[in-house]
Structure formats: C-alpha cells, structure tokens
Amino acid sequence: MTNSTVLRMAMRSILKNKMRTMLTMLGIVIGVGAVIVMVAIGNGAQSQIKRQISSLGTNLIVVTAGSAQQGGVSQGAQTFNRLTIDDVDAIKRDATLLAAVSPVIVTRTQVVAGSGNWRAEVNGVSTDYLTIRDWAVSSGALFTDDDVAAKRTVLLLGATVARNLFPDGDPVGMEIRLGKTPFTVVGVLAPKGQTANGSDQDDVVLVPYTTAQTRLNGFSFLGQILASASSPSQLQAAQDEIRGIMRDAHGIPPGGTDDFTVRDQTAIATAATSTSSIMTSLLAAIASISLIVGGIGIMNIMLVSVTERTREIGIRMAIGARGGDVLMQFLVESIVMCLLGGLVGLAAGVGGATLVAHFTGWSIATPVSAVFLAIGFSAAVGIFFGFYPARKAAALDPIQALRFE
C-alpha cells in the first residue's frame, strides 16, 4: 500500500469513533499543554532574572568592606569598614580597565515633602554612579560634577519615592527635607523595578556623596564602592586590578588577608538562572508524566481496536495484505492520534501560558525548541505505545482471524 492509502485508512478509522478518539487524545493534550505552560513560565522567570541582574548595572563590580577578627573569629562581612574616598581616588588614578568608579554612602532617613513623608534609603554617590547603573531620568536632569564639588543640597528621587510623595504632580524644582536638611529635587529617576531578591530599586534617593558626608551622616567611611569594567571580557581582570590597588592602598603585606571584598554580579546571575532552570526542568518532567499516561491510554485503545477489527485484519490478509502493511496501518493510527493531540495540546499550552501571564503579571517565554520537542515527543509516544498493538495485529493468523466472532 502507498503511504497516502495508509494515512487515509488511519484517518478513516480514527474518525469512525470520534468520542473515543477525543478521550484517548485527552492525556496527550493535557501532557503537552502542561509541558508548554511549565516551560514558558520557567523561561520567562529566567529572562526576568537576567533583566533584573542587568538592571543593577553595566559590567558592575562591587567593593565592600571586609570582616573584623576578634580572638581569631570572623565577625562577618562589613563589620570592619575601611573604605574611604582615598580608596576611590586610588582606584580612579591607577586603574586602567574601568569605565567609571563611584563611592556609595548609604543611610536611611525620613523624606518629608509638604504634608507627606516617606522613609527611604538615601545614597550619597558621584555622577559616575548613574553611568555604572545605566540610570536615566524620567523628568528633570541629573546632578552634575559641579554639584558634587560644591556639596549642593540637590537630589534625585526614585520612582517609588516620587510616586508616594507627589502622586499628583512632577516634583522637579520642589523643596523636600531629608531629616531636617532642605534639598531641591532636580530630577526623578526612570523606573528600574525589583531586584532578583525582591527589593525595590526605585525606593531610593540619590544625593551628591559630598553632601551626604557633610549634611546627613557625617561619616568619612563608605558603604561600598561601585565600579564598571570597560567591557564584559575584562570583568575578571578589572576585579584583579582593583584588588591589587586596594591592597596597596591599605598596606596589606603579601600573604595578608584582605580587609575588603571585590565581587561582580556573574555569580549571582549564574546561581539565580541555574536555580530557575532546575525548577523548570523539574516541573516539565512532572508534567511529562501526563504524556506517559496518555501513551498508555492510546496503547489500551489500540489493543481494543485490534480485538474489534480482528475479522477485518483476517480479510485483508486473505486478499493479499502483508503483516508489514497491517503493522504500518495501526502504527500510523497511533502516531496520528498522538500528533493531533500534541497540536491541540500545543495550542492549549500557549493559550494557558498567556492566561497565566495576563492574570498573574508573570513574564512568560515559549522557546521554539519546546514546541518542536513537545510535538516530537508526542510522535515518539505514538510510536512507542502503538508498536505493541500494531505488532500484535500484524502477527494474527489469517485463518484464526477469519473465524473470530
């Protein structure tokens, strides 16, 4: 028989019992749909994590204070703060692989505007900070190097702070108080969203670090130093360069323990995406169980079909059909049912993922590879679970088949 004849006979047999066919395909539909939804959600989560990590800054390097030792016992990171403006100046002067360097002085205080107030994190930074974080303004302008040098009381509001203090208008040009010190709003930062650990990047106020030191906390030590490597390929070399400069600046002898820590976001991004990838694979594997259950259902129905059509098989063999023709006919029926179920499941999965994104606000992404994998797996299920019934049909004795009642 030709391939078209086999396919036509398979379709005729499938359509002959529409309800039974639909119920048989249901397991495949659910399995493929569940896999597509899980993969779409998982890939969307990975993409979201990558975007959040990228929003932290361009080729970001973070220098934080090291740990103090008391009685040979570490007291934890940043318990011994020796980061100063001199360290920033040394890095700027001696580093050759950095695009920008900024000190960061961190404090929390009450932000008061008119009758409203909001407690926010205040960061004292230089203009390089905005370059490192790739942060623009949605209104107004950034403060300048002259503002930093003159220790002017100007600030930039994060989107969250601006929305809570000035829900009905643009705060640019308005005067607000940080604690008891009046400041002028020169700009509102563009929204950044949440970080990978769920903290709000827009719940922040930026002021010149010189102003923060003299008018807010009066501390000479820095919370951290941020730097940006000239290119992603130089990220590790730039970290090594900063480490060497810092050791020289702090007078740490060879073999001595660093009193600071230099790190980038690569480890964080790798860990976060790796965890998300593992969870996606696990969920997809659990959803794939439905495909196996659906395949078992197809095998059962095909065995019933072989029993029901025993006389038909005997007649076909009696008039010249070979065992291979019978095997191919039943195998094609199984594959076609699985493929149809896979296509319907694919549509259901894409639709389900879209609904999940609509109602939850989650990011979704359905990779093309998942589509082909789902369809290919459906065909493989049809072949695997359809082969035994097809082989049983092909092995029937024509004489016994003709006598079957």
Q: Looking at the predicted structure, is the pLDDT value of residue 367 above 80?
A: no
Q: Calculate mean pLDDT across residues 39-50.
A: 74
Q: What is the pLDDT of residue 70?
A: 44
Locus of tokens 């049909």: 393
The full DSSP string for 105-144 is EEEEEEEEETTEEEEEEEEEE-HHHHHHTT--EEEE----
Cα–Cα distance list, 353 to 20, 38, 394 (Å): 28, 8, 42
Q: What is the pLDDT of residue 273?
A: 63
Extract the tokens encoding 236: 């590790």
Q: What is the pLDDT of residue 264?
A: 79
Name residue 61's beta-bridge partners: 227, 264
377 in Cβ contact with 286 (< 8 Å): no
Q: How confident is the model at residue 81 (pLDDT cuts 50, 70, 90)?
A: low
Q: How confident is the model at residue 75 (pLDDT cuts 50, 70, 90)?
A: very low
Q: What is the pLDDT of residue 79?
A: 47
Q: Which residue has the higher pLDDT, 313 or 233?
A: 233
d(CA 231, CA 245): 19
Extract the tokens encoding 26: 């249901």
Q: What is the pLDDT of residue 157?
A: 94
Q: Calculate mean pLDDT across residues 335-343.
A: 84
Q: How confident is the model at residue 92 (pLDDT cuts 50, 70, 90)?
A: very high
Q: How confident is the model at residue 19 (pLDDT cuts 50, 70, 90)?
A: confident
Question: In sequence order, which ranges of 222-322 are alpha helices (DSSP H)?
Answer: 235-249, 266-308, 310-318
d(CA 174, CA 105): 24
Q: What are the pLDDT digits (tens) for 121-132?
A: 899 999 999 988
Q: Looking at the predicted structure, is the pLDDT value of residue 390 above 80?
A: no
Q: Looking at the predicted structure, is the pLDDT value of residue 400 above 80?
A: no
Most confident of 181-190, 260-269, 275-284, 345-354: 181-190
Q: What are the pLDDT digits (tens) for 135-189?
A: 889 999 999 999 999 999 999 999 999 988 988 888 999 999 998 889 999 999 9
Q: Which residue has the higher pLDDT, 152 or 13?
A: 152
